[in-house]
Amino acid sequence: MSVAPERGAARRGLRPERVVAEAAAIADAEGLDAVTVARLAQELGVRPPSLYKHVAGRDAVVRGVALIGLRDLGSAVAAAAVGRAGEDALVAFAHAYRIYALAHPGSYAATVRAPAAGDAEHEALAAAVMETVLAVLRAWDLEGEDVIHAARALRSALHGFVTLEAAGGFGLPADCERSFEELALTLAAGLSARPGTVAPASPRGRRG
């Protein structure tokens, strides 16, 4: 497909932030793989070579989308977990995680990969999300590498569920909301059932 001549207004208003925001919109609507330099140039009304004046290439754009995703996901899960503890915090965290991932699938997909070594901005945003995870897990008094193992288990379970749900992988008629609730409660129960672990008190009851 040929690219239309560049529009002066588009060129004057083009900034890296706008390019990344457009990439996030494309990713959320069509998937992260749909984000290409050619597609961005088309949407922004410029030729692909001109886009390189504002971003270094696709990898830089995807990194920018990841920063948006981590910032927004981090804010969502932190707000959900604040003032809660134990099972209550874990379930609230899980629901906020799912809501964000389903509402912004492309931006969420960009957050999955670990930051490149030395990328301080990316590392800081990923660390902020992890801080919320660790705060949620604190009620179980985990020590050493057990904390890392629990954090990975929590992340893997939530990621697996939302990825399957987004891809239409659940064909049985049972309600996905209830299934996700059971997943979160099972994760909390599994942490409490670990040898030597005392289940934290929680004011939360099961929802039907």
The hierarchical CATH code for the domain 8-55 is: 1.10.10.60
State phi, psi for 27 to the nearest 5 degrees: -60, -45
To which CATH superfamily is domain 62-192 assigned? Tetracycline Repressor, domain 2 (1.10.357.10)
Tokens 């288990």 map to which residue? 153
Cβ pair 65, 124 in contact under 8 A: no
Q: Which amino acid is at 175?
A: D
pLDDT (0 to 100) of residue 14: 87
Cβ pair 60, 24 in contact under 8 A: no
Q: What are the boundaries of each domain within the chain?
A: 8-55, 62-192
pLDDT reading at 99 higher than 90:
yes
What pLDDT, in 10s, does the model give residues 42-92?
999 999 999 999 999 999 999 999 999 999 999 999 999 999 999 999 999
